[in-house]
Chains A and B, each alone.
Chain A
Amino acid sequence: MTMTASTPPSRRARISAPGLDAMAPFIGAVLLIGLGSLAFPQLLSATYLLQQMQIAAYLGILATGATLVVLLGHIDLSVPWVLTGAAIVSTSLVGTGDPTLAALAIPAALAFGAVIGVVNGVGVAFLRIPSMVWTLAVNSMLLGLAVLNTGGFNPRGEASAAMTFMATGDIGPLPASFVLWMALALALGLMMARTAFGRYLRSIGFNEKATYLSGVATPLVVIGAFVLAAMCSAFAGVLLAGYANQAYQSMGDPFLLPTIAAVVIGGTSILGGRGGLFGTIGGAMFITLLTSILSIMQVDQAWRNIIFGAIILAMLLFQSLRRRAG
C-alpha cells in the first residue's frame, strides 16, 4: 500500500469527476419530469423544456455566484436587493431615453453589483463580521436606498433591446439566458479548477487560518469571491428586468431561499470547501422544475410550501445518509 515519496501528485486531486452528491439533483430533475409526464404529457414537449431552461437560468446565475461564497464558508443574504438594485439601475438608465446611457445600462448594473460585493467582502474579510449578519445589514441598506430613490413605488424605466434579448431571446435552438448561464458556469468552473484564486478560495473554505499562514492574501480572495457573487446577482437582476421589461420593488425577495437551496442540494457544503459549481446547475434545474410542476398541478400555496420543504429535506437526508453509509 505504502508508496515512496516520489509518486507524482495525481491530477485527479484538482479536477475531480463530479460525485454522486453533485449528480443527485440532475437525477432528481429527470425523475420529476419522468413522473410528472405520466400525469401531464406536455412536460415532455420541447417548448416546455426550453421554457424551463430559460427560467432556470435566472436562478442558476444567482446560485452560481452564491456557490463561490458558500465554498468560502460564507453566505450572501444581500442577493435580493442587489438583484433588485441592479434591475432598477439598468431600467432607469434605459428609461432616460438617452442612447448613451441606455448602452451603459448593463455595465452600470454590473458595476453596481461589484461595488456592493466590495462592501460585503470588506465587512467580512477585514472587520470579520459574520457574513450572515453583514450581508443582511447590507441588504437592508439597499432596500432603504431603493425606497428613498423610488418613493416606494415601482421605479419608472424599461428594459433595453439587449436586456430583453438576453432574457427571452434564443441563440440557435437554445434560450439565450440558458447559454449565458452555461458560459458563466463554465468560465467560473475553469477559474476554480485552474487558477490560484480558485485554489485559494477552496482552501479558505476548509481552513482560513492555515491558508493565511501559507502566505495567501486571504482578505483579497474573500473580497474577490463576494464581488463575483454580487455581480452574478446583478446580472440576474438585469435578466429579470429584461424578462419583465421593468424593475419592481422586492422582485428579488422570492429568490433568496431557492438560491441557497439550489447550492446545497447541488452538494456544496454550507461549511465551505466541499462541493462545486457543477452540482449547482442541477440544483437550479431541480428547483425550477419542482416549482413549475407544482404550479401546473394547481397545488395551492400552502401545500406547495409543504411539498417544497419536504422534498428538499428528503434530498438532503438522502445525501447525508448515503455519505454516512459510504
Chain B
Amino acid sequence: MRDYLRSNQREVLAGLVLIVLLAYYLATHPSGPSTYVMTIWANQCLILALAAAAQFFAVVVRGIDLSVGAIMALTNTAASHLLDGSAGQITFGLVAVLALGVLCGVINGLLVVYGRLQPIVVTLATASVFVGLALLLRPTPGGRVNYDLADAMTLDVLGVPTALIIIAVLILCVWLPLRRTGLGVGLYAVGSSEQAAFQSGINVRLIKVAAFGLAGLFAGMAGLYYGFVTTTGDAGIGPSFTLNSIAAAVLGGVLLRGGVGSLIGAMIGAFILKTIASLMFFSGIPSLAQPLFEGMILALAIAIGGAEVLRLRNKLEVFGR
C-alpha cells in the first residue's frame, strides 16, 4: 500500500481533488444533486475522459497523439452515416466505427515505428488527413445517430448515469485486466526505458504500434460517444479535444516523458477539467471572465504539480532520466 501511494501519488491526489470538486458542484448546483444533473455532467465528462484515455496510451510509450481530436471527428462523422437502420446495420456500424478508430491509430503507430518519425510530427500530419476525410464525410454538421441507441447510452440505468457505468466497465473489464498482461507491463516498460525493454526481450515495435492502436480505439470511442450525445456528425470537433486530452492526462498524473500514469488517472484528469468548467457555469462569475478563470485554474493546477521540483534537494533530479 505504501509503495502504491508512493508510485501513484499524483493520481491519488487528482482523485481527491475530483471528489472535493464534485461534492462542491452537486452542493451548489441550482437544481440540487439529481439524476438529471449527474447524467448531463457524466456525459460531458465521458467524452473528454475517452479522449484523455486515448492520449494516455500514446503518452505512456513516450509518444503523443495530436490526432486524437481528428480521429474523433472522423469516427463521429462516420457514425452519423452508419448508426441508423436495423439492429444488424447498427451493430455493423458500431464495429465499423471503432475499427476505423483502430485503423487510424495503427497507421500512426506504423509511421512512428517504421518511418522512424517523432510521434508529434506524425500525428500532426495525419490529423490534417483525418480531418480532411471527416470533411468529405460531412462537409457541414448533420446526419443522424439512432435515437434509441443514443438515449440508451446517454441516460441512466436505475438512477446511475450510463456514462459512469461505461467508465466502470472500461476500467474493470478492459484496463485492469490489460495492466496485468505482458502488453500492459510492456507499455510502461517501453515508455520508461526503451533500451531496457529491448534488452529484456520485449518486442518494442509491436508494443508501440499496439499503443497507438489502443489510442485510436479510445479516440474512436470518444467520437462515437460524442455522436450519442449530439446525435449528429460534425467534422469540426477536433482541435479543442486534442489539446484538452493532453491537459487532462497531465492533470491526472500521466507524465509526458512516458512510463508513468494510468488510464484511470487520465480519466480523473478529464473529469476534473469538465467539472471545473461546469462549476464555472453556475458560479456567478461573469461569462466573459470564465475563459480566463478556466485558463488560470488549469495553469495553477499544472504549476502546483510542477512546484514540487522546488523542494527537491538534489538539483540534478529535475533533469529526469
Contacts and interface: CB of A to CB of B under 8 A. Distances in A.
Indicate if A touches B (C-beta under 8 A).
Answer: yes
Interface of A: 75, 77, 123, 126-130, 132-134, 136-138, 140-145, 147-148, 151-152, 208-209, 212-213, 253, 257, 260-261, 264, 269-271, 300-310, 312-313, 316-317, 320-321, 324
By CB atoms of chain B within 10 A, which of A142, A148, A305 has the most? A305
A302 B303 contact: no
A270 B121 contact: yes
B122 A316 contact: yes
Given A141-B292, A303-B132, A320-B116, A136 B303 contact: no
A309 B127 contact: yes
A305 B132 contact: yes
A307 to B, nearest CB: 8
B233 to A, nearest CB: 14
Contact of A127 (B121, B125, B294, B307): B307
* 7 nearest CB pairs, A to B: A144-B292, A305-B132, A309-B128, A127-B306, A306-B132, A302-B135, A141-B295
Contacts, number: 152
A145 B122 CA distance: 32
Given A133-B246, A257-B128, A309-B127, A144 B309 contact: no
Nearest to B312: A128
Contact of A271 (B111, B118, B292, B302): B118
A320 B118 CA distance: 10
Nearest to A134: B302
B14 to A, nearest CB: 14
Nearest to A138: B299
B90 interface: no
Interface string B120-131: 111011111111
B128 A312 contact: yes
Contact of B121 (A130, A144, A264, A307): A264
B304 to A, nearest CB: 9
Contacts of B316: 209, 212-213
Nearest to A310: B129
A127 B303 contact: yes
B33 interface: no
A200 B238 CA distance: 38
A140 B295 contact: yes
Given A123-B306, A257-B124, A313-B125, A148 B288 contact: yes
A145 B292 contact: yes
Contacts of B247: 133, 136-137
Given A127-B309, A133-B246, A309-B126, A144 B295 contact: yes
